[in-house]
Structure 1
Amino acid sequence: MQRELLLAWRRPAEIINPLFFFVMVVALFPLGVSPRPELLATLAPGVVWVAALLAVLLSVDGLFRADHDSGALEQLLTAPQSLYVPVLAKLAAHWMLTGLPLVVMAPLLGYMLHLPEQAIGVLFIAVLLGTPTLVAIGAIGAALTVSLRSGGILLSLLVLPLYVPVLVFGAGVVSYAAKGLPVSGVLALLGAMMLASFTLAPAAVAAGLRISSGN
């Protein structure tokens, strides 16, 4: 994980771009729709979650590409140890550098869109639980398309259908909180999805990397 964090800090654009995209999409949305507070409050959960989903998708496209181009991925694949732990460390480091800033910015953007106060805290928790799942699912698609020169479109086709449950439950739980409905069950479901994805995804990513590299 220390290696992954160090390499990421040497490429700051890969950290800044998803966050900049996330903020700009949400900030420009009221200009294209309507500045009415009641309308923005209704649409805020979906807007924030769609922007977060696309920002994560933008970041995972190059998750393994630098290692593939430098030959580090080939050395990792031929090493005698299992790929599970290195992949898990890479996913955790990637989320810390790209997903965690989205989590921090989400409440501020929700406030900007006039989201009710009781829903802002739920938005923070939901994005905190949901973005690791998005990173883990996106990493599987990135592993399968790492050897392709233009794999971004194929990556989107692979992972967007798998993103739908996270998007539905993530935006839905914020809407429930805004209406004063109980949210603990949906948050527990998001947490279970996060644990399952980070437990199973490293094995799937390792298999995808071996398939893409022919090892």
Structure 2
Amino acid sequence: MSRAGLPGLPGSARALMARDLRLLWRRRGDALQPALFALLVVVLFALGLGSEPRELAKVAGAVLWLAVLLAGLLSLDTLFRGDAEDGSLEQWMLAPVPLAWLVGVRTFMHWSTTALPLLLAAPLLAELMHLPRAQLPALMASLALGTPLLSLIGAVVAALTVGMRRSGILVALLALPLYVPVLVFGAGSVAASAQGLDYGGGLLMLGAGLVLAVVLAPLAAAAAIRIALN
């Protein structure tokens, strides 16, 4: 608590995270959809390409990255929509903490509930696609850097469309072009590892993008929310 008796940044973050976890538990069936969707994408690619391990291994990195990207996109429209419908976003704007801070906390919760389970399941999905184990460190490192970046970019897009009804397709159309560089560097790092090349360049680009997004994305999303609600 601050001197004025109001919650500070850590207190507001804990309160918002606890609320999100309670809501997630009530809708735990919906929470499993991104992980199940990613698994479905991987299985369909494996069935479509056949059971030849060499053929699957060639595209394993790109398929896994694409599955994670599409799974995150599936839940992007709901990032702020529920709060806009029940009036919580107006309360966020009146809160004694910066709106960008609350947006950042919500984005972190979105990543931890959608991308983090996929990140933990990535080794199993990689085995399903016959990804060589020597390429697994590149895959895990690129996903660890790239998935938070996807969530931060998605938060800006979701904030831009929060005032619109039925904006699911619009969110996808706006987000996918912005996701392409992350996909290129992420899947490219795995491809470079497969060729025996140094994949550190792609990881550095993802890391640089993540640092910029951590600083700028919450501010941009907060500004978009203020515009949408005014």
Question: Structure 1 length normalisation: TM-score?
Answer: 0.94
**1:107-118 map, 5 Å:** 107-118=123-134
Q: Which residue among 162, 168, 182 is the counterpart of 1:152?
A: 168
- Match for residue 149 of structure 2? 133
- Match for residue 191 of structure 1? 207
- Match for residue 48 of structure 1? 64
* The 10-residue stretch of structure 1 (131-140 or 186-195) with the greater mean CA deviation from structure 2: 186-195
Give every structure 1 segment of 4 or more consecutive aligned residues whose post-TM-superposition deviation is greater than 6 Å: none
Mind listing any 5+ residue stretches in structure 2 that lack a counterpart?
Answer: 1-16
Matched positions, count? 214
Give the secondary-structure state (helix, strand or coil) at the position aligned to 1:115: coil
Distance 1:8 1:209 in 2: 23
Larger Rg belongs to? 2
Distance 1:68 1:15 in 2: 19
**CA drift at 1:203:** 0.4
**CA drift at 1:98:** 1.0
8 Å Cα contact 1:104-1:124 kept in structure 2: no
- Match for residue 80 of structure 2? 64
- Match for residue 6 of structure 2? none
- Match for residue 189 of structure 2? 173
Distance 2:35 2:211 in 1: 24
Distance 2:40 2:198 in 1: 31
- Match for residue 4 of structure 1? 20
- Match for residue 11 of structure 2? none
Q: Write the deviation string for residues 29-71 of structure 1: whole angstroms up to 9, x where unpaired.
A: 1212222111111111111111111111111110111111111
8 Å Cα contact 2:49-2:55 kept in structure 1: no
Q: Which residue among 85, 98, 101 is the counterpart of 2:101?
A: 85
Q: Which amino acid aligns with 2:223?
A: A
Distance 2:106 2:29 in 1: 18
8 Å Cα contact 2:142-2:186 kept in structure 1: yes
- Match for residue 9 of structure 2? none
Higher RCO (C-alpha under 8 Å, 6+ residues apart): 1
Distance 1:112 1:129 in 2: 23
Q: Which amino acid aligns with 2:224?
A: G
Mind listing any 5+ residue stretches in structure 1 that lack a counterpart?
Answer: none
**1:6-21 map, 5 Å:** 6-21=22-37
> Structure 1 residue 23 and structure 2 residue 39: aligned?
yes
Distance 1:111 1:123 in 2: 12
**CA drift at 1:125:** 1.3
Distance 2:102 2:160 in 1: 17
Distance 1:13 1:61 in 2: 17
Distance 2:51 2:208 in 1: 36
Q: Write the deviation string for residues 117-166 of structure 1: whole angstroms up to 9, x where unpaired.
A: 11012111111110001111111111111122210111111111110110
Give the secondary-structure state (helix, strand or coil) at the position aligned to 2:78: coil
Pairwise CA RMSD: 1.4
Distance 1:80 1:109 in 2: 43
8 Å Cα contact 1:44-1:110 kept in structure 2: yes
Q: Write the deviation string for residues 88-131 of structure 1: whole angstroms up to 9, x where unpaired.
A: 11111111111101111112111211111110121111111100
